[in-house]
Amino acid sequence: MKGLTIGKVAKEANVNIETVRYYERLGLISKPPRTESGYRQFPVEVVQRIKFIKRAQELGFTLLEVNKLLSVSDGKDYDCHDIQQFASKKLEEIEQKISDLEKIKSILYDLSKKCPGQSPLDKCSILEEFKEGSD
């Protein structure tokens, strides 16, 4: 059987070799057969699978979620609607994170405007706010 070495897979998928090993350990990609000398021989399809994993991560999916997506896409018991629901749920999570980050941004903006910038640390309004917390 002829396949791709781990170095070739990494290069084609634009990841490092340790990423390929890590995905293999997590079960995101199948353990490939080995040559008599012990070298992994990956099927060419593994490159596309790694690209899928990386793209899903870029879109905010965790590796656990990516594993679920891969399971769904590998199976016959699901359809496009299932994937759409999964993506919609992730979109809701991202919208919540954006909302939370906007709140944090607003608070930090207000704190930075209150700070005179030339006070000793024991009079720093930002540190005081942190010590008092929000009530």
In this structure, the number of other CB atoms found within 10 A of the CB of residue 20 comes to 23
Q: Using pLDDT thresholds of 50, 70 and 90, give the confidence band for residue 127.
A: confident
Interval 81-122: pLDDT, tens: 888 998 999 999 999 999 999 999 998 998 888 877 777 877
Structure tokens at 134: 């929000």
Predicted pLDDT at 114: 80
Transcribe 8-43 into DSSP letters: HHHHHHTS-HHHHHHHHHHTSSPPPPB-TTS-B-B-
**Is the distance from CB of 52 to CB of 70 less than 8 angstroms?**
yes
Predicted pLDDT at 135: 52
Interval 2-55: pLDDT, tens: 789 999 999 999 999 999 999 999 999 999 998 888 888 999 999 999 999 999
Q: Give the architecture-level CATH label for domain 1-78.
A: Orthogonal Bundle (1.10)
Give the chain's mean pLDDT.
Answer: 90
Of 97, 112, 99, the residue nearest 62 (C-alpha): 97
Summarize the confidence of residues 58-69 as an average pLDDT: 93
Q: Where are the domains of the chain?
A: 1-78, 93-135
